[in-house]
């Protein structure tokens, strides 16, 4: 194509894309008007109005998220027909809804990603646009079906991976590769594991898979939404823009520490404590801790009534405890069983003492009358309430676990290691979250909570019955009028009450965040190798359908309680229902940096092959030796130098390193430039220190530097080029 032809083609493409934006703006204005009308009511009932408001608000959010890079390419088939591919589908309303823009997830758009020179799939040409905001800056053509064709669309791909990094992760919708597209569109109803080394795009592939599932299974998935679990808040912030940019918003982002509403993680466990808390054997500890709070009195507990004193002895309490345990109800829900046995014994004994000498058991009416009076006294007795609380207390997960951690005696009694002991039991850690979640089920709701819920339900039903009475609906007349009878005409008070309760105007994310019992239709787990056995139990409870996309790299595991085998954690939950796919091409880390990281990988995971980098950057990684006094100055110099360049940078080091973040805080993130300080101290952080150094080295997309103290570089880094005394000389 001559330069003149290119200019003319570019002008035509700009005109077409401008028309797409005009259509997008018109659709946005239409939805905005519909949203405003719904807010005003427009003769809609309250329920219908709220449904319409939420639907239009969701559509507005979808349209607002696709403004940047709306259309990213075009494909031409052998018949000369052209199709434009973009973030969402747009249609020409004036031409029987002729498609102006194909949604990238639509089946018709798939050849844009899968067609190659060897297998063109009836495509003649693939054109990829280079855009900024709403403007097409240029395009790259790939002619298909010829031996000299470029199978992978390298020009557009390399332009994307070489571009400076911004504040958040970018989608890859314009440059999805064939191996990635296969995973994104995989029709698998169970758990899909995507494993890949650093820079292989496993996270962004998982997010595009979510967008694809929401597109193809929207009716099934959107009401309950999708949960995305990441390793830390910085990572979640990094990836949070991807799905909205693809037109999807029914997604909840959280860390494992946020899986229990209202929880605040303020502390960190040592390796030994984290390992014990993450293992399934902790379930026995929790059960023993609960049993330890179901106590027998050492001395009889006296209850003073109006005419006599009754007592709860160890024998009575033991019978009641056994009956409550045999009920197999959660602890709090078994308390009424315990109370009923105690009340039965006390009232029988009290009645016998009151009627001694004059009351026969054959006189059941009098006997029962006295029993009821005694029972009423017990219900009003603070001594009796205190005794129940002492012997079978109502417990919350927090009120059980915090005292357990603070007491060496309770830990021993529960069979727990003393490594769990801490001075502030309520200083919660990430490892405590699955335990607290487990205890919510093991303890159950308290009787007072259940009674309160029942009262609220009765009140709502009474209100609904009043509404029906006001409406004065003659149901028999409705039933006689067979021509006009509809299903919604037959409504009971309880049905109307349920509709009233279900009417919740919050969006999915808000409702899910406040509801520990919320379940999702699909769950994405990133950095899944860090999850413990207990973490997996929490997540499986959150998704009864067991529909998961699991993303990880076992070689990068740093948690002592983390996953060592996908089969070992998944087979107990989804036997035979999980699939494995791997990504082997590194799109992020240049070859010069990956060769350094591969040396570290070879030392701690010799059986794992490093991903193959798709590009080189032409800049050699370097190292520089500094003493303790020089280190802060050298770090500041790196920060100052990188601030003058386009892109992002970070300093990574062991805890306490000046101006540095730890490797775990950068999991899943990427930066144009990375400075690693004190690599030897990172390696010294236990058995997973090498994995942490591997993570640190593979965050850079362009430039990597290493600062080490007077000690020598770790052997795996010995090949780094020596930097000059000043970074400004580089």
Q: For residue 202, how many other CB atoms are within 10 A of its CB?
A: 28
* Measured distance CA(363)–CA(373) in Å, rounded: 16
Cα of first residue to Cα of last residue in the chain, in angstroms, is 40
- Under the banding of pLDDT at 50, 70 and 90, the label for residue 193 is very high
Per-residue pLDDT of 114-148, as tens digits, reads 887 767 888 898 898 988 889 899 998 888 764 44
Q: What distances in angstroms separate CA 56 from CA 38, 39, 62, one per listed residue?
A: 8, 10, 10
Average pLDDT, the chain: 84
pLDDT mean over 665-691: 88
Q: What is the predicted pLDDT for the residue at 148?
A: 43
Q: The tokens 């037109």 sit on which residue? A: 247
Q: If you average pLDDT over residues 93-111, what whole number do you get?
A: 85
- 8 Å CB contact between 406 and 396: no
pTM of the model: 0.76
Q: Does 201 belong to an annotated binding site?
A: yes
With cut-offs at 50, 70 and 90, classify the pLDDT of residue 19: very high
pLDDT for the residue numbered 399:
97
Check pLDDT > 80 for residue 354. Answer: yes
pLDDT at 458: 47
* Confidence at 171, pLDDT banded by 50, 70, 90: low
Instruction: Count the Cβ atoms, other than its own, within 10 Å of residue 713.
Output: 16
Provide, rounded to the nearest whole percent, the portion of the chain with pLDDT above 90: 49
Is residue 225 marked as binding?
Answer: no
Answer yes or no: is 641 a known binding residue.
Answer: no
Query: For every residue of 90-123, which 3-state class applies, written as one string?
Result: EEECCCCCEEEEEECCCHHHCHHHHCCCCCCCCE
* Dihedral over Cα of 228, 229, 230, 235: its sign: positive
Residues 72, 36: contact at Cβ < 8 Å? no
User: Which candidate, 437, 441, 428, places its Cα nearest to that of 402?
Assistant: 428
Distance of CA 199 to the CA centre of its chain: 21
Q: Any binding-site annotation on 563?
A: no
Q: Which of 68-77, 317-326, 684-693, 697-706 has the highest mean pLDDT?
A: 317-326
Q: Is 197 annotated as belonging to a binding site?
A: yes
- The pLDDT of residue 512 is 76
Helical segments of 115-199, H only: 154-162, 178-184
Q: What is the pLDDT of residues 206-245, one digit of tens each?
A: 988 988 888 888 877 777 888 999 988 888 887 877 877 7
The set of long-range contacts for 407-413, using a CB threshold of 8 Å and a minimum separation of 24, is: 410/289, 410/292, 413/288, 413/292
Return d(Cα 61, Cα 248) in angstroms, integer. Answer: 8
- For the cut 60, the answer to whether the pLDDT of residue 576 exceeds it is yes
pLDDT of res. 724: 65
Of 326 and 468, the one with more pLDDT: 326
Residue 421: band (very low, low, confident or very high) from pLDDT cuts 50, 70, 90: very high
At 485-499, the pLDDT tens digits run 333 333 444 444 444
Alpha-carbon gap, residue 228 to 207, rounded angstroms: 9
Q: Is 80 annotated as a binding residue?
A: no
Least confident of 246-250, 354-358, 543-547: 246-250
């Amino acid at each position: 194509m001559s330069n003149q032809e290119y200019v003319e083609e570019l002008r035509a493409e700009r005109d077409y894309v401008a028309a797409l934006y005009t259509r997008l703006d018109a659709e946005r204005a239409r939805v905005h008007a519909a949203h405003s009308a719904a807010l005003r009511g427009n003769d809609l009932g309250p329920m219908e109005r709220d449904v319409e408001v939420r639907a239009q608000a969701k559509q507005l959010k979808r349209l607002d998220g696709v403004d940047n890079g709306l259309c990213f390419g075009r494909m031409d088939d052998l018949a000369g027909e052209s199709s434009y591919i973009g973030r969402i589908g747009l249609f020409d309303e004036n031409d029987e809804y002729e498609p102006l823009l194909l949604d990238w997830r639509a089946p018709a758009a798939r050849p844009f990603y899968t067609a190659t020179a060897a297998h063109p799939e009836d495509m003649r040409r693939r054109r990829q646009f280079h855009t900024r905001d709403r403007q097409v800056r240029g395009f790259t053509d790939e002619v298909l079906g010829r031996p000299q064709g470029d199978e992978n669309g390298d020009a557009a791909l390399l332009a994307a991976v070489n571009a400076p990094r911004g504040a958040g992760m970018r989608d890859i919708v314009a440059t999805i590769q064939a191996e990635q597209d296969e995973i994104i569109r995989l029709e698998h109803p169970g758990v899909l594991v995507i494993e890949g080394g650093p820079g292989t795009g496993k996270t962004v592939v998982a997010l595009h898979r979510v967008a694809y599932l929401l597109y193809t299974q929207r009716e099934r998935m959107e009401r309950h939404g999708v949960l995305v679990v990441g390793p830390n808040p910085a990572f979640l912030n990094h990836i949070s823009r991807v799905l909205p940019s693809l037109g999807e918003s029914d997604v909840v982002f959280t860390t494992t520490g946020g899986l229990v509403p209202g929880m605040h993680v303020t502390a960190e466990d040592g390796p030994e404590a984290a390992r014990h808390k993450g293992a399934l054997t902790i379930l026995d500890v929790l059960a023993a801790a609960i049993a330890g709070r179901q106590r027998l009195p050492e001395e009889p507990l006296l209850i003073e009534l109006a005419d006599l004193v009754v007592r709860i002895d160890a024998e009575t309490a033991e019978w009641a405890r056994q009956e409550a345990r045999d009920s197999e109800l959660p602890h709090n829900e078994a308390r009424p069983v315990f109370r009923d046995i105690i009340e039965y014994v006390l009232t029988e004994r009290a009645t016998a003492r009151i009627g001694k000498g004059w009351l026969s058991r054959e006189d059941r009416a009098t006997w029962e009358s006295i029993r009821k009076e005694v029972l009423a006294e017990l219900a009003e007795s603070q001594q009796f309430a205190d005794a129940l609380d002492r012997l079978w207390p109502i417990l919350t997960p927090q009120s059980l676990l915090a005292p357990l951690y603070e007491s060496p005696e309770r830990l021993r009694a529960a069979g727990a290691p003393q490594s769990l002991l801490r001075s502030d039991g309520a200083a919660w850690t990430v490892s405590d979250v699955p335990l607290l979640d487990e205890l919510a089920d093991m303890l159950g709701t308290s009787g007072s909570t259940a009674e309160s819920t029942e009262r609220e339900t009765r009140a709502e039903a009474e209100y609904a019955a009043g509404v029906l009475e006001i409406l004065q609906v003659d149901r028999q007349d409705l039933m006689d009028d067979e021509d006009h009878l509809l299903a919604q005409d037959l409504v009971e008070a309880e049905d109307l009450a349920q509709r009233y309760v279900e009417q919740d105007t919050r969006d999915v994310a808000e409702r899910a965040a406040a509801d520990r019992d919320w379940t999702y239709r699909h769950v994405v787990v990133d950095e899944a190798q860090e999850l413990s056995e207990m973490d997996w139990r929490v997540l499986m409870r959150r998704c009864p359908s067991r529909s998961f996309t699991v993303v990880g790299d076992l070689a990068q595991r740093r948690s002592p309680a983390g996953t060592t085998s996908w089969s070992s954690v998944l087979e107990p939950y989804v036997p035979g229902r999980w699939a494995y796919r791997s990504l082997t091409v590194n799109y992020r880390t240049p070859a010069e940096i990956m060769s350094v990281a591969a040396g570290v990988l070879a030392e701690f995971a010799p059986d794992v092959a490093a991903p193959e980098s798709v590009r080189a950057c032409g800049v050699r990684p370097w190292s520089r030796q500094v003493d303790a006094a020089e280190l802060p100055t050298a770090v500041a110099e790196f920060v100052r130098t990188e601030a003058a360049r386009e892109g992002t940078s970070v300093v990574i080091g062991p805890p306490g390193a000046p101006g540095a973040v730890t490797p775990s805080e950068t999991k899943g993130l990427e930066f144009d430039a990375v400075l690693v300080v004190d690599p030897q101290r990172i390696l010294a952080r236990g058995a997973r220190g090498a994995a942490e150094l591997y993570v640190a080295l593979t965050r850079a997309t362009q430039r990597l530097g290493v600062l080490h103290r007077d000690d020598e570089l770790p052997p795996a880094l010995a090949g780094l080029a020596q930097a000059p005394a000043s970074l400004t000389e580089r």
